[in-house]
Structure 1
């Protein structure tokens, strides 16, 4: 997926302007939606559900210019469905972002697919 743009907080600031309440609301909506997709990935019982939730999460990350999250979701989609290691990495990214990090880089940017393990 081609991707150009500023990090997530810069995009949110451009939309929210000088309204900190709107900025916080948009940031919260992003996190809620992302966590909902991660939950769907965690509960998926087939490759199709895993892929659909992953693609939705990747699209959400792309629309908010969250490059670190996009890389992690790409790793998830390239790897085995239900992989708990990549789900933990995505959850950690969301926790770091929720704690105030701008666009936390994944701890391990290398792919974790079956052929790279």
Structure 2
């Protein structure tokens, strides 16, 4: 999955305006939150923890208008806890975002 999220980038640009330091800070906050939820998903050992982490991931995605991530979070909510293919796709999104 190639990172492509126009509404996400537009949301960040609108929030940061012409301040590149603020833009970098917002991107960093998003990346940090995303990384934390991926870790929680990977460590989830019960349905409740998985669902909670997936819903938090969905909240992060919705807050930043990250449509691809929102779809992945919804997929995580709908699948069984610990589903490795979902986790890999979310990790791929994170890797693509981090390298952009």
Report if TM-score (shorter chain) is over 0.5: yes
Deviation track 1:17-64 (CA, whole Å, cap 9, x = no partner) reads 101111011001001001101100110110000000100010110000
Q: Indicate the structure whose relative CO is greater, using CA pairs within 8 Å and at least 6 residues apart.
A: 2
Counterpart of 1:33 in structure 2 is 33
Alpha-carbon distance, 1:77 to partner: 1.1
Tell me the distance in 2 between the aligned counterparts of 1:85 and 1:28: 25
Alpha-carbon distance, 1:76 to partner: 1.1
Counterpart of 2:57 in structure 1 is 57
For the aligned residues, what is the CA RMSD?
0.9
SS at 1:7's partner residue? helix
- Size of the aligned set, in residue pairs, is 95
Compare CA radii of gyration and give the structure with the larger one.
1
1:44 matched to 2:44? The reply is yes
Between structures 1 and 2, the one with greater helix share? 2
* Structure 1 residues not aligned, in runs of 5+: 1-5, 101-117
Superposition TM-score, scaled by structure 2 size: 0.91
